[in-house]
Amino acid sequence: MTIENISQAKVAGGWHKQYTHTSSSLNCNMRFAIFLPANASESNPVPVLYWLSGLTCTDENFMQKAGAFKKAAELGIAIVAMDTSPRGEDVADDAEGAYDFGLGAGFYLNATQAPWNRHYHMYDYVTKELPSLIEEHFPVSDKKSISGHSMGGHGAITIGLKNQDMYQSISAFSPIASPINCPWGQKALGLYLGDNKEAWLEYDSSELLKKGSKLPILVDQGEADGFLEEQLKPEYLLSSAEKSGTDIEVRMQPGYDHSYFFISTFIDEHLEFHASHLNK
């Protein structure tokens, strides 16, 4: 698999680099970014935190706004952030250009319905293609954790729960906790997966959590988040964790909203959480 470096900048003693490549999973060109701490080398491969961003975002939102590099460098963790959907002129988009579906809104699933099933296989991209590419081209180990925000928080929890032997830990900021029970999720799952609601359950964090988790999970949610009651619904996660006896920490943070101001406030704690499991 070939990749092309399109930008790079030294930061926190390491490097932030952007790459493009042709994705076999998504049938289009994709872009991702990686932060490599200074101690990463062929003789010292470092673990990786995969970050999944939310609706409308690209790889740049987290890398430019989260303020994660100093702590990641201190902990010796690489960070990989990818785009939130396939892109390109021939990639299907919402007919009305809505922000919550189509381009920028891949929901980290494998679409089964036309025309979305031609390109929208973000689940395969995150769990198979991208890790293989990262481990082939960069000085990283096969130890990885996963985190994300909003739609990406949904992606991080569902992917982590469905691949518990692949990751060491899971965290999320403001995740869409139960897509089957909110407008964003119902629209996306219905169009990407069709009317069979049994298929929807495989991409619902709260439903998957009912089966339990051996992985540690940390969630931060702002109490002043404008999407909290209608779209995010963290109470579903708590209820599922109680039913399955899963140890999950959901921290409600007074005064914080849905923005990267919120993420940047607590990202160091999430990195320390993941490092404690990646470095075991």
**Residue range 97-156, pLDDT digits in tens:** 999 999 999 999 999 999 999 999 999 999 999 999 999 999 999 999 999 999 999 999
**What is the per-residue pLDDT for 6?**
98
For the chain, what is the HEC assignment? CCCEEEEEEEECCEEEEEEEEEECCCCEEEEEEEEECCCCECCECEEEEEEECCCCCCHHHHHHHCCCHHHHHHHCCEEEEECCCCCCCCCCCCCCCCCCCECCECCCCECCCCCHHHCCEHHHHHHHHHHHHHHHHCCEEEEEEEEEECHHHHHHHHHHHHCCCCCCCEEEECCCCCHHHCHHHHHHHHHHHCCCHHHHHHHCHHHHHCCCCCCCEEEEEECCCCCHHHHHCCHHHHHHHHHHCCCEEEEEECCCCCCHHHHHHHHHHHHHHHHHHHCC
What region does 122 belong to: left with phi over 0, alpha with psi -120 to 50, or beta?
alpha
Which residues neighbour 260 within 8 Å (Cβ) at sequence distance 6 or greater? 61, 62, 65, 66
Confidence of residue 1 (pLDDT cuts 50, 70, 90): confident
Confidence of residue 181 (pLDDT cuts 50, 70, 90): very high
**What is the per-residue pLDDT for 235?**
98
* pLDDT average, residue stretch 63-68: 98
| Nearest-10 Cα torsion for 223, 229, 232, 233 | 100
- Percentage of residues in the chain having pLDDT higher than 70: 100
**What is the per-residue pLDDT for 259?**
98
Range of the domain at 189: 1-277
**What is the per-residue pLDDT for 117?**
98
State the Cα–Cα distance between residues 195 and 250, nearest whole angstrom: 31
Which residues neighbour 241 within 8 Å (Cβ) at sequence distance 6 or greater? 209, 247, 248
**What is the per-residue pLDDT for 92?**
98
**What is the per-residue pLDDT for 187?**
98
Using alpha carbons only, how large is the chain's radius of gyration in Å? 17
**What is the per-residue pLDDT for 26?**
98
**What is the per-residue pLDDT for 95?**
93
User: CB of 33 within 8 A of CB of 130?
Assistant: no
**What is the per-residue pLDDT for 168?**
98
**What is the per-residue pLDDT for 21?**
98
State the Cα–Cα distance between residues 6 and 97, nearest whole angstrom: 28
Mean pLDDT for the chain overall = 98
Indicate which residues carry an active-site annotation: 150, 225, 258
**What is the per-residue pLDDT for 206?**
98
* pLDDT average, residue stretch 43-59: 98
What's the total number of domains in the chain? 1
**What is the per-residue pLDDT for 215?**
98
Using the predicted structure, report yes or no on whether residue 280 has a pLDDT greater than 90.
no
Sheet of strand 78-82, all strands in order from the earlier edge strand to the far edge: 4-11, 14-23, 28-36, 78-82, 46-52, 140-149, 170-173, 217-222, 248-253
**What is the per-residue pLDDT for 202?**
98
Q: Render pLDDT for 10-22 as a digit per residue (tens, 0 to 9).
A: 999 999 999 999 9
Would the pTM count as exceeding 0.85? yes
CATH code assigned at 226: 3.40.50.1820
* pLDDT average, residue stretch 213-232: 98
**What is the per-residue pLDDT for 70?**
98
* pLDDT average, residue stretch 21-43: 98
Give the up-direction half-sphere exposure of residue 97: CA atoms within 13 A in the CB hemisphere: 0
